[in-house]
A and B are shown apart, each in its own frame.
Chain A
Amino acid sequence: MLDFIQQLVSGIALGCVYGLIALGFVLIYKATEVVNFAQGDLMMLGGFFVFTFIGLMGLDYWLGFLFAVCGMAVFGMATERILIRPILGYPQFSIVMATIGLGYFLRSIAGMIWGTDDLKIETPFSAGVVKIGDLVLAHDKLSVIVATVILCIVLFAFFNYTRLGTAMRATSENMLAAYYMGIPVKRVVSLIWAISAAVAATAGVLLAPITFIHSNVGLALGLKAFPAAVLGGFGSIPGAVVGGLIIGVIETLAGFYLPQGWKDVMPYIVLLVVLLIRPQGLFGPSMRKKV
């Protein structure tokens, strides 16, 4: 029983990681209907930024964290300006391919700049553990869970209760109409990319002590976060986190209880089954085209 709970908790921690990356997907999708396949790679880049600030330049952890997040926000804005804005409104699949191209590019460049070794940084969460009875919880994992919950609540409130959030939702529904209603569409879109990249950077920084920083870490985690976002019904903020938790828990439990090999495919099997039953994901609204 204790095994189970221990596994469940580490599954939840892993799930939060996926959820955190999935949040980035969902934000951009919610505001622009663009699916950003490079989200995992933005996270990877965030990790490398924080490594540069803390590991190489020797800054304080929190200062490095802040710099990395701000740096990534600027990077996200630049990406939007250069790559996304010219093709916004093209068929969805073209944009998906463009972001896949971006991912390739970032991975390769990061590998050239920072090398291909696993990098590690010391953080305040690196070593400590919390013990509840026989249950052992590592600080680094707890920090991920806490950050995910906070970010999820903040972003949910932002989208549903602020003027800017409403403007973002309007933009995704019909960009031209939003334009006519006086919403500064270009600024809104560039802002959402900044926010999304910042969320990715946060994920990258929090993950640094757990997974190491490596140029392929983004691809590996991104490919798990993606089903998480789909499972939750792309476009739903709580859905992303719930989807992430489901994938994380299933993966961990499958790795513990099932024969080798099931760990990696189980999330995808669950995803296919869910999509067969509910094609719009767990939290996605069912809609159809009006004629």
Chain B
Amino acid sequence: MSFFTVDGISLQFGGLKAVDDVSFSVSKGEIFTIIGPNGAGKTSIFNLISRLYNPTSGRLSFEDSDITEVPPHQIAKLGIARTFQNIELFENASMLANLLVGRHCHATTALWQDMLFMPSVRRAEKAHRRKVEEVIEFLDLQAYRDKIIAGLPYGVRKVIEVARALCSEPKLILLDEPSSGLNVEETDDMSFWIRDIRSELGITVLMVEHDMSLVNRVSDRVLALNYGKVLASGTPSEVQAHPDVIAAYLGA
């Protein structure tokens, strides 16, 4: 069985089929991209994977275990982290606090220990901070360590969200439109980071993206969706040459 598999998954809102019998699998160390016009069901698939939505039918499996029924807060612990399309950071906290929340799935201390701040909590805190500093170093975020998120520019927040996901030391990271709202330079940086996440940290990347030049530069394989259905999958150039995909984008 492969690293991560989506098997015949569907999601229905009332009469609308947001995701319709989608299957694909991602192998370890791959950068896998989902493309498709607006409303094609890309983000819905992410929400299904991070278990915010319950699928109407189909299975999800990760590292040989079935995760279709796992509650959402345990997904991070299994090693799947995500970012959000419209940025869901903790606005009124510092960046450091945000990244430390990313470490939450590794928290081991009990409530009473936290309340009394036992030596074990202090030790754990230091370990968390060490890991967070590595991520800050990796994504070049030193300047913002103690800044409150609410005052930071959009581009920086986007990177911080990636950083928060990395802090949980995931095996699979889901990036929901990492380049949306970024300028050309920032998009370039993002493409380098995405490749580094794979090559340096060894994390498998599954992303949703609209910017085709970014997709071409980083992805190993691409899946095209429209109206919740799979149109095509394969290498970036294969998918872009596929007649159905061209039709979906140009509306022919």
Contact = CB atoms under 8 A, between A and B. Distances in A.
A291 B53 CA distance: 11
A291 B47 CA distance: 8
B85 interface: yes
Interface string B137-163: 000000000000000000000000000
A149 to B, nearest CB: 33
Contacts of B33: none
Contacts of A291: 43, 47, 52, 84-86, 88
A87 B85 CA distance: 29
A291 B52 CA distance: 10
- How big is the B interface, by class? under 10
A46 B196 CA distance: 68
Interface in B82-117: 84-86, 88
A291 B44 CA distance: 9
Interface string A258-291: 0000000000000000000000000000000001
Nearest to B53: A288
Interface string B32-57: 00000000000100010000100000
A291 B48 CA distance: 12
A291 B84 CA distance: 6
Nearest to B43: A291
Interface in B59-84: 84
A165 to B, nearest CB: 26
Contacts of B84: 291
Contacts of B86: 291
A291 B46 CA distance: 10
Interface string A223-242: 00000000000000000000
Nearest to A291: B84
A291 B43 CA distance: 8
A107 B85 CA distance: 48
A291 B85 CA distance: 7
Nearest to B47: A291
A248 B47 CA distance: 43
Contacts of B88: 291
A215 B244 CA distance: 72
Contacts of B47: 291
A286 to B, nearest CB: 12
A291 B176 CA distance: 10
Nearest to A289: B88
A291 B86 CA distance: 7
Nearest to A288: B52
Interface string A35-61: 000000000000000000000000000
A291 B88 CA distance: 8
A117 B249 CA distance: 74
B42 to A, nearest CB: 13
Nearest to B86: A291
Interface in A63-119: none
B86 to A, nearest CB: 7
A136 B143 CA distance: 78
Contacts of B85: 291
Interface in B171-188: none
Contacts of B52: 291
A291 B82 CA distance: 11
Nearest to B46: A291
A177 to B, nearest CB: 15
A114 B57 CA distance: 67
A78 B47 CA distance: 46
A291 B89 CA distance: 12
A18 to B, nearest CB: 34
A250 to B, nearest CB: 33
A169 B88 CA distance: 26
B72 to A, nearest CB: 12
Nearest to B50: A291
Interface of B: 43, 47, 52, 84-86, 88
Top 6 A-B residue pairs of the complex, sorted by shortest distance between their CB atoms = A291-B84, A291-B88, A291-B47, A291-B85, A291-B86, A291-B52
7 contacts: A291-B43, A291-B47, A291-B52, A291-B84, A291-B85, A291-B86, A291-B88
